[in-house]
């Protein structure tokens, strides 16, 4: 009997001790969990350097980046074709040279020009003969030795000779006016020699479709960009654009869409658009690759923040709303569009909210941990 009482007493004591142990462990775990949930507070050392941005509201702008290239302004390009056949000699310019209007580029030795010179001599001789014949007939008509018909015939011959001389002079003028059997190739405008397809002693023909030289002033150039079907509604004539090139990655050339070609290229299914840019210092060279960013505004407002306040993690955008005293919250947002360092957002924030704009990624990691 006494033995059973002692055993029961010991069992009860064991249960009490075991329960107390488990209760102690549970309390310690709860304390640890509570300690783990303590919210991160931004330290004073970081807080003193924080940049705080504000959620603003403005007209929604869209941005579209297109690929393109620099091209000649076709309205300021002249291609020089041979007016006569012959051998080209004494080429005075090289590719890339700048020439003045009227400057001699080359000389063509031409039998055609020699023929024009011979025609001029004949026409001048015929005119002198016709003039003397008309004067003699006039005197004979006055003396009664020639009829009026003879006088009219002499006058007609003189007018024909004069007309022929005028024609020959016009032909010579069109072909440079040289009477030594040479055609002088001159620059019709001032600009750069951007194409050259001739060499000294090269035989050329007037019916050849290849030009001798191409001159462009390059004071302004075209930038032609490709617009895919899905983006056609986002570009409009007059929209402002920023153009950058590989040669000058840190320089932005500003312009506007000058013309939209309302047809698609059948080979690559893109629509061409054109930007006319002034070319100060001749920085832009034809055939340069260009990146064209088009911006346009919609007739609605949207919230926007600086790009530095935006965090991207796990396929989601976030911002850090700052409440003061080192307290901040992570808030998910949706990105609508971006223009430069301005990002348009929807959801999660409201106008006037204060956002952390410096050390944002570092603080975001601490808040997550």
Q: What is the DSSP string of 161-227?
A: HHHHHHHHHHHHHHTT--SSSEEEEE-SSSEEEEEE---TTEEE-TT--S-SEEEE--SEEEEEEEE
Q: What is the mean pLDDT of the chain?
A: 85
- How much is the pTM? 0.58
- Per-residue pLDDT at 29: 52
pLDDT tens-digit readout, 140-197: 888 888 888 888 998 899 999 999 888 888 888 877 777 777 888 889 999 999 899 9
- Domains of the chain (ranges; CATH) run 44-59+300-368 (2.40.420.20), 65-74+219-299 (2.40.30.170), 85-110+181-217 (2.40.50.100), 113-179 (1.10.287)
3-state helix, strand, coil in the chain (%, to 5): 35, 40, 30
What residues contact residue 355 under an 8 Å CB cut-off, 6+ apart?
Answer: 52, 53, 54, 55, 305, 309, 319, 320, 321, 322, 349
Strand order in the sheet with 213-216: 77-80, 213-216, 191-196, 98-99
Give the three-class secondary structure for 269: coil
Please answer whether residues 123 and 165 qualify as being in contact, where contact means their C-beta atoms are separated by less than 8 angstroms. Answer: yes
Q: Distance (Å, rounded) from C-alpha 360 to C-alpha 331?
A: 12
Q: Distance (Å, rounded) from C-alpha 254 to C-alpha 256?
A: 7
| Lowest pLDDT segment from 1-5, 164-168, 296-300 | 1-5
- Per-residue pLDDT at 54: 93
What whole-number percentage of the chain has pLDDT above 90? 39
Q: Distance (Å, rounded) from C-alpha 1 to C-alpha 15?
A: 22
Please answer whether residues 83 and 188 qualify as being in contact, where contact means their C-beta atoms are separated by less than 8 angstroms. Answer: no
Q: Token pair for residue 50? A: 């924080």
Please answer whether residues 343 and 60 qualify as being in contact, where contact means their C-beta atoms are separated by less than 8 angstroms. Answer: no
- In 3D space, the residue among 89, 74, 348, 68 whose CA is nearest the CA of residue 235 turns out to be 68
Please answer whether residues 332 and 347 qualify as being in contact, where contact means their C-beta atoms are separated by less than 8 angstroms. Answer: yes
């Amino acid at each position: 009997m006494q033995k059973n009482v002692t055993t029961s007493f010991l069992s009860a004591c064991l249960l009490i001790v075991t329960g107390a142990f488990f209760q102690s462990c549970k309390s310690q775990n709860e304390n640890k969990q509570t300690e783990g949930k303590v919210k991160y507070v931004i330290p004073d050392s970081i807080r003193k350097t924080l940049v705080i941005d504000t959620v603003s509201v403005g007209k929604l702008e869209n941005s579209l980046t297109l690929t393109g290239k620099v091209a000649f302004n076709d309205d300021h390009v002249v291609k020089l074709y041979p007016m006569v056949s012959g051998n080209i000699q004494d080429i005075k310019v090289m590719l890339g040279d700048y020439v003045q209007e009227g400057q001699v580029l080359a000389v063509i030795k031409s039998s055609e020009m020699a023929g024009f010179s011979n025609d001029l001599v004949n026409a001048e001789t015929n005119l002198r003969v016709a003039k003397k014949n008309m004067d003699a007939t006039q005197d004979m008509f006055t003396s009664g030795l020639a009829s009026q018909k003879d006088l009219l015939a002499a006058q007609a011959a003189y007018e024909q000779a004069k007309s022929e001389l005028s024609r020959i002079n016009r032909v010579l003028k069109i072909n440079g006016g040289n009477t030594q059997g040479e055609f002088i190739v001159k620059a019709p405008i001032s600009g750069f020699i951007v194409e050259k397809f001739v060499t000294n002693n090269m035989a050329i023909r007037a019916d050849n479709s290849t030009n001798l030289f191409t001159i462009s002033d390059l004071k302004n150039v075209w930038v032609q960009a490709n617009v895919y079907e899905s983006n056609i509604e986002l570009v409009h004539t007059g929209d402002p654009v920023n153009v950058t090139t590989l040669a000058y990655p840190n320089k932005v050339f500003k312009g506007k869409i000058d013309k939209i070609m309302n047809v698609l290229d059948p080979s690559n299914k893109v629509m061409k658009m054109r930007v006319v840019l002034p070319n100060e210092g001749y920085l832009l060279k034809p055939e340069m690759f260009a990146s064209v960013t088009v911006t346009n505004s919609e007739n609605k407002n949207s919230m926007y923040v600086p790009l530095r306040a935006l965090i991207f993690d796990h396929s989601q955008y976030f911002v850090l709303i700052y409440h003061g005293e080192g307290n901040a919250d992570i808030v998910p947002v949706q990105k609508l569009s971006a223009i430069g360092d301005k990002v348009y957002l929807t959801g999660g924030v409201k106008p006037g909210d204060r956002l952390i704009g410096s050390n944002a990624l570092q603080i975001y990691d601490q808040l997550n941990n």
